[in-house]
Amino acid sequence: MTGRRRTGPAVLSLVLALTVGGLIWGFGPWDEESDPADTCRGALAAEEAGAFFGGAELKFRGHTAEWMGHETEYCSAQARGEESGAVRLELSIRPAAAHRAAGAAEKTSAAPIGFGWNGSFDAGYNPAAAVLVDCASLPGKGLLVLADIPEDIRKLSDEQVSGLARFTTESARRAAKRHGCEGPLGKRPSTVDRTTWQEHPVARVKGTCGNVVTARDTARLGLTTASEMPAGRALTEECSLDLPAEGRHVRLTAYYGPSAQQEMYLDKRYPGSVKGAIMRSHPCKGALGTAYFKYEELPREDDGKSVRNTVRDEDGQRLLTAFTTASAARHGCPVG
């Protein structure tokens, strides 16, 4: 399972679009070493970084640049004297309107970060986290805080993996205070959910596929197995349902905040990528904005030829309605 399934020329076009739309960021020689109190204008949670590195003396770097027309802060922390190939915490702070390339926020493989936050935690090869805070003063009415470790997760201790979540949320807490954000803030995470995709019989789902399929759907469509992630308030969610025909399945996806903005932008830019899909939007409060939901039957092609959907449109609509209602309710969005 992956968060973004664009392939071929579309990927190149997207990279070019991202380059034109802003600056594809990384940490390089242009970053200036800074005092921890000044790093990301004081938002970087230096105490959490210190705990992550076991109390080692740290080196902080950072810069400010424009991304999607909005000022964005980038900063990092690592153990002093281990700059070459060393483990590094990276942090990005931006308005929710600067939605493209939103890291863990756009990954369906990410679990909810939990502890009262709207956010995601990706325990994949390179661990990453994202937190979204209501902030009416910022473009997009939200503050998006992204953090990651560009290192093989197998080289990190469990405490360091959990430490990334704490580094993200506590940096978000500092940034929210600086911007005067009104949104409620969660608690400091004590652990992270490292659950990967789970396969269950449709009748036993309890995660992102929960409350989606009825006994009538199961019998009518011949559904047997579902693939899901833990349910919560992740910024992108997915539920996959296997169909009777070999290799075919239904994919239901929910996008919130910057993730929704990005997906709507991409679907408009590449309309052929959603041929046969059913999409709808749903109003949410604060930084979650207009959520975006999608139903797709896959694969769309076989040997380069289009494949007709086997699920009737009314059945697809019903599944999408149930998925939208369940996901929106978890995220505190108004539901009828």
Distances in whole angstroms, Cα of residue 32 to Cα of each of 5, 42, 96, 102: 36, 15, 26, 24
* pLDDT digits 0-9 by tens, 147-176: 999 999 999 999 999 999 999 999 999 999
Give yes or no: residues 158 and 273 share one domain: no
Separation CA 136–CA 180 (nearest Å): 9
Burial of residue 137 (number of CB atoms within 10 Å: 0-12, 13-18, 19+): exposed
Total Cβ atoms within 10 A of residue 62:
23
Residue-level pLDDT at 158: 95
Q: Is the dihedral of CA 116, 118, 124, 127 positive or negative?
A: negative
Separation CA 240–CA 295 (nearest Å): 10
Contact yes or no for 287/133 (Cβ under 8 A): yes
Give yes or no: residues 174 and 215 share one domain: no
**Total domains, the chain:** 2
Contact yes or no for 133/256 (Cβ under 8 A): no
* pLDDT digits 0-9 by tens, 248-283: 999 999 999 999 999 999 999 999 999 999 999 999
Separation CA 66–CA 78 (nearest Å): 24
Residues 6+ apart with CB under 8 A from 268: none
Position 320 in a domain: yes
Residue-level pLDDT at 84: 60
Residue-level pLDDT at 304: 66
Give yes or no: residues 164 and 116 share one domain: yes
Contact yes or no for 322/330 (Cβ under 8 A): no
Beta bridge partners of 195: none
- Boundary residue ending a domain (128, 150, 179): 179
Q: Is the dihedral of CA 256, 257, 259, 262 positive or negative?
A: positive
Residues of the chain with pLDDT under 70: 1-32, 83-85, 303-305
Give yes or no: residues 32 and 161 share one domain: yes
- Boundary residue ending a domain (151, 179, 207): 179
Residue-level pLDDT at 36: 77
Separation CA 172–CA 133 (nearest Å): 8
Give yes or no: residues 174 and 234 share one domain: no
Give yes or no: residues 259 and 175 share one domain: no
Listed as own residue / partner, the contacts of 32-40 with beta carbons closer than 8 Å and 24 or more positions apart are 32/61, 32/62, 32/63, 33/59, 33/60, 33/61, 34/60, 34/61, 34/62, 34/75, 35/60, 36/60, 36/77, 39/75, 39/77, 40/73, 40/74, 40/75, 40/91, 40/93, 40/171, 40/175
Position 190 in a domain: no
Contact yes or no for 144/258 (Cβ under 8 A): yes
Give yes or no: residues 143 and 211 share one domain: no
Which range of residues forms the domain containing residue 133?
9-179
Whole-structure pTM value: 0.89
Separation CA 95–CA 320 (nearest Å): 30
Position 3 in a domain: no
Give yes or no: residues 27 and 166 share one domain: yes
Q: Residue 43, Cα to own-chain centre: how many angstroms? A: 21
Position 127 in a domain: yes
Residue-level pLDDT at 18: 40
158's enclosing H/E stretch is helix 158-179
Contact yes or no for 255/291 (Cβ under 8 A): yes
Residue-level pLDDT at 124: 94
Give yes or no: residues 167 and 208 share one domain: no
